[in-house]
Amino acid sequence: MREVRVGILKQFIKLGTFMLPRYILYAIMFTTLLVFFVSQFNEVNFYSVFALVFGVLGTVILWYETIRGWQQKP
């Protein structure tokens, strides 16, 4: 029996012939939700600022991880 090591490929998903970093789906979702939230933003209070900070931080972190994974692609 032969052992196969997948290593970095565990962090990718295959869509047809494309290899995409796993975090790209989450990054797109967070970006879409952030754009929707900003378009509906009408009142400044503690909760809206908290949601805005959380959305921006989550989006930045996920896009950073996506780009870093893309650069490590074999």
Q: Which pLDDT belongs to residue 71?
A: 86
Token representation of residue 8:
């970095």
Token representation of residue 57:
């931080």
Residues 37, 52: contact at Cβ < 8 Å? Answer: yes
pLDDT digits (tens, 9 = 90+) for 5-63: 667 677 788 888 888 888 999 999 999 999 999 999 888 999 999 999 999 999 999 99
DSSP string, 32-70: HHHHHHHHT----SHHHHHHHHHHHHHHHHHHHHHHHHH
Name which residue leads in pLDDT, 44 or 1: 44
Q: Does residue 4 register a pLDDT over 70?
A: no
pTM to 2 decimal places:
0.79
Residue 70, judged by CB atoms within 10 A of its CB (0-12, 13-18, 19+), counts as middle
